[in-house]
Each structure stands twice: as structure tokens, then as C-alpha cells.
Structure 1
Amino acid sequence: MQMVDRVPDWTTPVAWVYIGLSLAAAVVVAVDIHLGRRRHARVATELVWITSALYLGPFAVPLYRSRGRAAVDAPEATTTTTTTTTTAPAPVSSDVVAAGLPGGGASAVAHLIGVPLVLASGLTIAGIDLWVMILVIGALAMLLLFVYERGTLPLRAAATAAVVTVLAFDVGMGGWMLLLHVNEFMPPATEGSFWFLMQVGIILGLATGYPAVRWLRRTRRTAEPVPVP
């Protein structure tokens, strides 16, 4: 079933400008990390900050500078967590925003892989490929986030963080995709406006995933891409 495009024409130039700014922001963060010698202990953490620009666009740069910029030549490490239950939960600060970025990055990469994969396969459910896209993107995001979390967490905690985070993200991301589809505002994946709208969806996913990430952080069941001072 072909997706119907009723998106206003002005969305196309806005989309390409934002996509261009997003790619530029990703380059800025990557250059600062690698050429600026602000390396983290884990490459996965660096990728979280770079991929954050793929959906946050230019807003990712100030967030990276305030939350994820490591000291020059310092052997930085991400904040690690354990599944040990504590009687006093960890204090929640603004760093919970950064703690949600791995989920956003996993979703962004899952879109880049999953959408072309579904379109190339021609798979549909009830004649609609959107359902397959949502399932494939969700599965890929869980896998990617599990790999990230597994770098610092035990198996069970990493799996819990991945599943809980992605399900919460999908309330915003999947709900946004369904809203676009029902109202016939879903452009073809070959259009820049499609990817721009997916960027908006990932940001909405960050919002709906915030409570889950906050809970995971309070119970020390998630890893944060924040350098140790």
C-alpha cells in the first residue's frame, strides 16, 4: 500500500534545511570528539552524542557541550550503573535528559536501517507496510540499545533498559507515525519531508520515554552518556 502525501509543499525546503543542519551538527560533534581529542572510554558513548544530532539537529551541539563533552586527553568514562536495589534512590537531575539520548540514537539508526529494509522487502501487514516498519524499527532499536547498555550493565538489566525504553519511546514515535498515516500526511520515504517528520517523531519519543528513563535512572538500571568529572 502506497503512503499518501498530503504534506504542504513548504515542508520540503524546511525539511532539507533541518536535515542539512542535523548533518552539520553531527560533524561538529564528531570533530570535537576525535580531532579535539575529547575521547570517551567507550566508542558507543561517542556515537550516542554524534547520532543525537541526527534528530536534535543544531540543538544537539549545546547539549553535547554542557552534558557530554569530555576533557581534552582525559581518560573519560561513562556513568555506569548496576541492578543492585538501594533503599535510597539516586537523585534525579537534568542529566536524565542525557540518559534518554541512547534511546533516541538507537531509534535514529533503526530508522536508517529499517525503513529501506522494509521498503525493499515489500512486506506488509493487512496491506500496509507501516505496521511492518513500526515493528522492525522497534526491534532494531531494542537490539541496538541492548548492545549499548550491555557494555556497562548485566544482561538482565541491559535487556530491561532496552525493552522498557523502546516501548516508552514508541508511544511517541509509533503514535506519531500512525497519526501521520491516518491523516494521510505520510510522504514517501524518498522525500526529505519523510525523514524530517521521522526526526520530529524521535523527539516526541524522547518526551514519552522520559518517565521510563527517569525510572530506570532512579533504580540504577541504565547507563548514561555523561563523562565523569
Structure 2
Amino acid sequence: MQPTWLVALSWVSLAVGVVSFTVVVADTYLRGHRQPVRVMEIVWLVTVLYIGPAAVRLYWNWGRPEAFSRRRQEGQPRRPRRGIVVTHVSRCGAHCALGFVVAEVALYVLRSDPAQETLWVDYAGDYLAAVTIAVLFRYVGAPGRSVTKVWHALSTVVKVELLTITAFEVALFVWLTLAHRVVFPEPPLRPDSPTFWFAGQLGLIAGFIAAWPAASWQLDRGPRFEERRQGRR
């Protein structure tokens, strides 16, 4: 069994994420601060779920629609550079977080021997699920008919998000490898344990931090984010 203090810490961390999630849910749906792009509501809810109060602060400063209305009234740009990067990393991070949850649970259920550790299979599943979710999110908001929408979603993810998603996933996988092999080697981490999800939270936070330079670089040298283009209209 995992040490009692570690199990307790895991539950506390998960509970803090749920409380942060509840705060943003209340602000979005009870107070009526809906996102102009509806998929961003999912993005911010997922982000606060794994980062916690720090992500609530990011949401309050850069994700809440009212924040941009206030800045416009004060004569500031609608979407400052930092806000663009925060939004982009949060969106890519939501893809990775959802992909992590979906893939890990599915592989655990489908695996014939739960005790068998095949981390590379898990990582491949996590990455493919993250990219698939990214394409689905883009598909929902893409214009045109079905075939056109699929192509638009794929090309947008490749041009705008794939680099950031990859940087996020690499940091997540490095941490998960350390967690499985060094930090929490016994008993093995599995999705039926709160410690597994606590380790996942830490990995997703590491991924968020690691993805920031990639997103910033892409803002400076790569294709401009859609949010920036919208802010100039």
C-alpha cells in the first residue's frame, strides 16, 4: 500500500482541483460569463481541474470574457500577448489532460493483465487521444461541410497546436516515467488509485510549464494564433 500521508495528500490535491472546477463552473453558468467560443468553457474547466487555484487566477485574468471587456474600457489591447499564450497553452493542455484521462482509463479497462506495465503503449495512447481531441475541438468550430471541416481541423491542429501539444506531452511522459520508476515505484501506480491521478496532476502541471516556451516561440515565429487575429479585427 501507498503511505497514508501520500494517499491523504493525493485526495487533498484532487479535492482542491474539484473546488477550483466548481468556482469556474459557477462563474460561467450561474453568473453568466459564457465564452464567445463555447469550446473554451471546456478548456478552462479542464485546466482548473488539474492546476487548481493558480489556474483560477489565470482564468480570472485572461480567460474570463469580462476581463477583456475591462481592458478595452481601460484602453488596453483586447488580447495582450501574455493572454494569447495563456489561452493557447490552456487549450493544448486541455487536449492533453482529456487525452490522458480517456486513454489511461480505456487501456486499464481493456488490459487483460492490469499488473502488466507497458508505459510506451500508455504514452502512445495518451498522445493519439490528445491529438484526436484537438482535431475534434477544431472540427466543432470549423466552417463548411463535413469533409472541408475535417481538413480545416487537421490543418489547424498541425499548424497551430501540434508543437505545443508535443512539448506538453514530452514533459508529462518524462514525469510519469520518473513517477512509475523512481518516485512511486511500489506498489505500481494504476488508475484505480488516487496517487495515480495525483501523479498525473503533477505531470500535467509540468507539461503546462514546459509547453509555454513552445507556444511563445510559435507566437513569435510560427503561424499567428486565431485569438490574435480576432483581437485585431
Change (3 A) 1:123 1:223: farther
Q: Distance in 1 between matches of 2:214 and 2:227?
A: 14
Aligned to 1:71: 66
**Superposition deviation, residue 164 in structure 1:** 1.6
Aligned to 1:40: 35
Does 1:215 find its partner at 2:217?
yes
Partner deviation per Cα, 1:74-112 (whole Å, 9 max, x = no partner): 8xxxxxxxxxxxxxxx98435413320012111221122
1:55 to 31, 50, 55: 50
Identical amino acids, percent of aligned pairs: 25
SS of the counterpart of 1:42? coil
- TM-score normalized by the length of structure 2: 0.77
Q: Give 2:101's aligned amino acid.
A: L
SS of the counterpart of 2:82? coil
The question of whether the paired residues in 1 share the 8 Å contact of 2:10 and 2:194 is answered with yes
Q: Distance in 2 between matches of 1:123 and 1:129?
A: 12
The question of whether the paired residues in 2 share the 8 Å contact of 1:30 and 1:50 is answered with yes
Partner deviation per Cα, 1:123-179 (whole Å, 9 max, x = no partner): 79xx63322111111111111123334536944232233322221112210111111
Q: Distance in 2 between matches of 1:41 and 1:105?
A: 18
- TM-score normalized by the length of structure 1: 0.78
Q: Give 2:196's aligned amino acid.
A: F
Q: Distance in 1 between matches of 2:22 and 2:231?
A: 23
Structure 2 portions without partners, runs of 5+: 70-78, 144-151
Aligned to 1:163: 162
Aligned to 1:84: none
Does 1:97 find its partner at 2:86?
yes
Q: Distance in 1 between matches of 2:4 and 2:101?
A: 24
Q: Distance in 1 between matches of 2:66 and 2:88?
A: 19
The question of whether the paired residues in 1 share the 8 Å contact of 2:167 and 2:214 is answered with yes
CA RMSD of aligned residues (A): 2.9
Does 1:17 find its partner at 2:12?
yes
Question: How many pairs align?
Answer: 205
Select the structure that is richer in helix: 2
SS of the counterpart of 2:66? coil
